[in-house]
Structure 1
Amino acid sequence: MRAIGRATSAGMIRRRTASRSLSNRSSIQRACMASSQPDTGMPRPYGERLEVCHAGWLVGALLLMCIPLFFGNLGARDLWTPDEPKYGQVVREMLDGGNWLLLQFNGQPYPDKPPLFFWAAAVCAAVAGGVSELTMRMPSAVSACLAIITVFFLGRRLFGQLTGFVAGIVLATSLKFAWQGRYGETDAMLAFFVLAALTAFWFGHTARESGPRWRLLAWAFMGLGTMTKGPVAFLLPLATLVLFFAWRGELRRLREMRFGVGFGILVLLTLPWLLTVMKKGGSGVSEQMLWHHIIVRFFSGFNHLRPPYHYVVRFFEEFAPWSVFAPTAIAVAFLRAPRGFGKQPAMAPGPEAADPARRDWALREGWAFLLAWFLAMLVFFSLSPTKQGVYILPLYPSAAVMVARVLVESIGKPQGWESKTVRVASVILFAGVVLASVAAVVGYAYAPAVVGETVSRNVVAGFAACLSLVALAGVVLLSRRAAAYALTTFALLAYVAQVGLHAGLLHRLDAIKSAKPLCQKTLAVMKPEDGWAIYGMMKPAYVFYTGRTALVLHDKDPEVRTKVRAFFSSDRRVFCVMKRSELQEVQDAAGRPLTVAVKHTVGKHSMVVASNSP
């Protein structure tokens, strides 16, 4: 019996020891897992809830946010000059003529852009039963949503889940990105493919075994971007990588991109279409596409000429409202990622980066990557004399992640200089919102001729009052050091402003911005056999909204007077749209009195449609 008792006691001791050992091991594992989580900079439990939340829930929240922002009333606004009506007409002629490879506009080859955006819009139009405002903007809206989700995963990989979530909100509610996500042209799609390519590179750069596959995926995204807007889609990512590796002092690591295979993917995706265009369009179309719209546009410029600092100013204007935090974010990036900071390979935040030193290394390298991305694209486009604000849209995701990281850190470390500058910027921004709201109401009262009856005074006043109240609430929260709630208020303010502007107000300006009413009046007096012309410069809206091929009578053409006389001397009835100020000039060239069939104001111009028949 004693032996049995001793055996039983020994067994119980062994079980307690094993249980204690297992408990200690579990505690160690939990501690390791906790230390392996990226430093969010947020005080628990606020930040911890989002860090440990399943990524699918956060993706779902971002998608729900995107639905009203990018799809609400998406087709309510008419296609506005210059690009939307032109692209709409290209898609219409693609569907009507069945030629999906050689793009055409107004019956002539259109070599300005590759076809991927137009293919996407044509598919939407085919499904919907015709080209419309909604179908033309759908590719941009979908691209914007994909970009928001991609920037979430990029921010999550770089700094943690909370930073990724905030970065998605920042990008979605920045002024220019929200606009392009609802605009029927190629730039939102290009921005997504450039973002996807650089995100794939970073995943490959920080992966152990799947790195080569991620890099091949990056090349595929660059190829799709090239089919959207040309070689800029692979030049921008490559410029970013060159600067990033040069910053680290490791240019030799560019070989990891496998340029031979990568350019093979580019050729595979683009060459079949390019050869078809060269064969069907002839040397003239090829020269226009490859020389005029790529080389000449970039190096010498033929329109939109601006000084070298233009993009710095435009970024701070069009990344609003988050641009007030951009100087702090860029300064932090310079401080955290000094040049040539080492040769140690990157480690992705996660269980394998449990060591604080390795985790800090990964965070520093992430800052270097984002800063290289921002600077490379800013310098790249600043070197070209041709400048438009939309060109720098691909650098917005890097700015969004940097700003998001600074905002998250400023909440968790309220005593740092970064937090103090963020608080000052927030107060300035909130005050600016209140002043802008007051200015909008006062401006509306003193400028009724500008907006007329298109926007109700009560609507403007109510919208401005709501924004002001939210801004004041944010100031109160900041004064009480409730920074997390102030940030939430700020994001809500930006979101409500963007949704209200795009889904609720802009379509009301069609009466003074759109050419559609003039075209509808013209179609009411025209017959199918009547001729149609545009005097001055080509205005695509008069082609799209009449559905007619137009003769363009360029006012700079030396033979324009002869062409005008021949057009109005036709045996059939003809109509020509022009500015009211050009009517006498056209009548003199026609050598006969003309009848004004339609009058309408489009934008800041008073337009008339003149005919050779009473």
Structure 2
Amino acid sequence: MRPAIYEEKKNPFSISALPPMGIIQLRAFIKKHDLFSILTGITIFLFFFELGGRSFEVRDTRRFAEIALEMLQSGNWLILYKHDEIYMNKPHMFMWLIALFSSIGHHVTPLTARLPSAIAGIASILATFCFIGKFSSKRTAFIAGVILATTQRYFWYGRTSLPDMLFTTFIMLALYSFYLGYKQKPVFYIGLHFFTFLAILTKGPLAIIFIFGTIAVFLILQRNLRAMKGMKWRWGIILLLTMTGLYFAFILKVGFEPFIATIKREFLTRVNSPINHGEPFYYYLVTLWTDFLPWSLFIPFAVIFAYKKWREGDDFITFSFCWTILIFVFLCTAKAKHTRYMLPLYPALSIIIASLIANTLKRPVMNFLWLQVSVRWIIFVMAGAGIILLVAVPVYLVTYSWIGIFTSLITLLVLSGVFLSLRRKTGFANASFTMCMFAAIIGWGIYIHCLTVHSKEVTFGTKLTDVIKKELGDLNGCDIRGYKLGESLWTIINLSLNANISLIKNTDELKTFLNTSEHLQPVCIIEKNTFLDIKNNLADTTLHTVDICTKKRKVTLIFRRERQTNPAAHPAWQDIEEEGNHR
């Protein structure tokens, strides 16, 4: 007989051959929640893929990262500073989160600056799936999640260092909490007040208009304003007092008049007479078509569908419709307009479009047959356009044309095989819509990769850091300052060097700085054109200069090595002229 231990090792049904309990539970969860798991994978890919690959210099906003950097360096998390001046234009929440993520390495990077928006984007899409799943099918929830994740503006602002995605997520969670409290358990009203509190801390009192304005319009249409009495206002009062205490402490530090002036400028002035971003009332009627790509063609039919459902008494679609209309009308009325201001509207619009598409794909009996036919034809056209774009991409991106053509042919065969397989299993319309979603997901991934490659080619900050390390060694041994730098360039330098460098205002101060005899090596960063204007005032043969040039930015480093013993040595700026001649 063989030993029992030998049989136990060879027996595939023995306890030792079974996978760990955690893996079994994970497999069971994925099988039970397959659509949720797929959506999670899609959103992680879309919002985290090469998130830190682009520098701050390519189509991004740097001011909030700069504020978080100064917050980390000063240790003051109550008063916000930008270039050593008090910053009051936006509340604290977004900068707090950037500083929190950056505190791990004590360095604000493109990744840590974008993490709050990316995490908020993923959370909002998964929360949308769970919310819709309670009042509609999981299929509708999945479609809404994919639409929201692949909408052009929503996808883009989920990958930037701007507070709008975080603001949108808190507004969305507050409205979801209200509807859950209204339809299921009143305990969810606590979430309404809590997320309203966080939204105000992110972007100010506009959250109150968006959230409670939507609720008021919905309850008026429902003829149920009495429901407001049960919305657990006690929790709202507690959070309001908490916010009042925070802002009272803030006002004691900065003063009452500057605080009121900021509220007036950032809220009232933007609505009535904005200093910037002023646009005509029809601005969003034009930009919405590009901002909501590739799903824009569904918008007119979604509005008709939502109106039809409202007339039929569908509370879920009516709530989403009220959400959409109120924010859209308010933003069109306000004179200050920007594409990112429309972001809080997109979750509701995605819910309506997803319901329309899901309703169409399962072939229900519709009063408006033309509506169903129109939606189906839009799906077919989008599927065809998406496949054509995916097939054409390799030819456009690959350096060698024959390799690109070969890759495109392989792509065409694979996509055709997938489409035919899906068509046999799910039907022509369902297979077409699946290809639409697939093309949108892969298309945005390719787009982000192209931006990352472009960013590496034009990144000034990386070149600046590399040159300083090459010429002077460790950055910690240098006292680096700037001379009359523009605000944008100053911010890029601060973020690249992970420092808050001070500015030198005139040539006398520059000479004094370069002649300091302290332990740290003095280094001055100056724009090249500015240096050429003042070089005659720096007649010092012991100074050295190095140019750092990209397509958009040209600066000169001025620093001092050991003094030269030969007084006839060429001046410092001769290196620049010779380098320019070589170019």
TM range (shorter): 0.7 to 0.9
Does 2:350 align with 1:400?
yes
Give the drift of 1:229. Answer: 1.6
Does 2:208 align with 1:234?
yes
Distance in 2 of aligned mates of 1:516 and 1:464: 36
Q: Is the 8 A contact 1:194 1:394 kept in 2?
A: yes
- Identify the residue that residue 377 of structure 2 maps to in structure 1: 424
Q: Is the 8 A contact 1:116 1:228 kept in 2?
A: yes
Give runs of aligned pairs for residues 3-402 of structure 1, distance below 5 A: 56-80=33-57, 84-128=61-105, 130-207=107-184, 210-211=185-186, 213-251=187-225, 253-257=227-231, 260-261=233-234, 263-283=236-256, 285-287=258-260, 289-338=262-311, 361=313, 364-402=314-352
Q: Which moved more, 1:455-464 or 1:303-312?
A: 455-464
Partner of 1:545: helix, strand, or coil? helix
Distance in 2 of aligned mates of 1:126 and 1:612: 31
Q: Is the 8 A contact 2:116 2:166 kept in 1?
A: yes
Partner of 2:281: helix, strand, or coil? coil
Q: Structure 2 residue aligned with 1:508, among 437, 453, 461?
A: 453
Distance in 2 of aligned mates of 1:152 and 1:458: 43
- Name the amino acid aligned to 2:494: V
Give the drift of 1:166. Answer: 1.7
- Identify the residue that residue 482 of structure 1 maps to in structure 2: 428
Partner of 2:497: helix, strand, or coil? coil
C-alpha RMSD of the superposition: 3.6
Q: 1:458 to 1:611 in 2, by over 3 A?
A: farther
Give the drift of 1:144. Answer: 1.5
- Identify the residue that residue 492 of structure 2 maps to in structure 1: 541
- Name the amino acid aligned to 1:59: F
Q: 1:511 to 1:168 in 2, by over 3 A?
A: same
Q: 1:574 to 1:285 in 2, by over 3 A?
A: farther
Structure 1 residue runs of 5 or longer lacking an equivalent are 1-52, 339-359, 446-454, 554-562
Per-residue deviation, residues 10-66 of structure 1 (Å, max 9, x unmatched): xxxxxxxxxxxxxxxxxxxxxxxxxxxxxxxxxxxxxxxxxxx98744433322222
Distance in 2 of aligned mates of 1:464 and 1:593: 59
Q: Is the 8 A contact 2:109 2:495 kept in 1?
A: no
Distance in 1 of aligned mates of 2:456 and 2:94: 28
Q: 1:612 to 1:381 in 2, by over 3 A?
A: farther
Q: Is the 8 A contact 1:226 1:270 kept in 2?
A: no
Q: 1:458 to 1:422 in 2, by over 3 A?
A: farther
Partner of 2:478: helix, strand, or coil? coil
- How many corresponding residue pairs? 510
Distance in 2 of aligned mates of 1:466 and 1:564: 63
**Percent identity between the two aligned chains:** 22
Q: Structure 1 residue aligned with 2:546, among 594, 597, 603?
A: 597
Q: Structure 2 residue aligned with 1:517, among 462, 484, 490?
A: 462
Partner of 2:62: helix, strand, or coil? helix
Distance in 2 of aligned mates of 1:383 and 1:610: 49
Q: Is the 8 A contact 1:136 1:184 kept in 2?
A: yes
Q: Which moved more, 1:300-309 or 1:528-537?
A: 528-537
Give the drift of 1:398. Answer: 0.7
Give the drift of 1:151. Answer: 0.6
- Name the amino acid aligned to 2:351: V
Distance in 2 of aligned mates of 1:262 and 1:466: 59
Distance in 1 of aligned mates of 2:377 and 2:89: 45
Q: Structure 2 residue aligned with 1:608, among 545, 555, 559?
A: 555
TM-score (norm 2): 0.76
Q: Is the 8 A contact 2:56 2:62 kept in 1?
A: yes
Bigger RCO of structures 1 and 2 (CA < 8 A, at least 6 apart): 1
Distance in 1 of aligned mates of 2:165 and 2:404: 29
Partner of 2:550: helix, strand, or coil? strand
- Name the amino acid aligned to 1:195: M
Distance in 2 of aligned mates of 1:465 and 1:577: 51
Q: 1:288 to 1:395 in 2, by over 3 A?
A: same
Give the drift of 1:67. Answer: 2.4
Structure 2 residue runs of 5 or longer lacking an equivalent are 1-29, 515-521, 561-571, 573-583
Partner of 1:171: helix, strand, or coil? helix
Q: 1:464 to 1:305 in 2, by over 3 A?
A: farther
- Name the amino acid aligned to 1:381: L
Q: 1:444 to 1:149 in 2, by over 3 A?
A: closer
Q: Is the 8 A contact 2:180 2:188 kept in 1?
A: yes
Q: Is the 8 A contact 2:480 2:525 kept in 1?
A: no
Does 2:444 align with 1:498?
yes
Per-residue deviation, residues 523-568 of structure 1 (Å, max 9, x unmatched): 3457723421453444422221133434569xxxxxxxxx555555
- Name the amino acid aligned to 1:608: V
Give the drift of 1:183. Answer: 2.1
- Name the amino acid aligned to 1:181: G
- Identify the residue that residue 341 of structure 1 maps to in structure 2: none
Give the drift of 1:224. Answer: 0.9
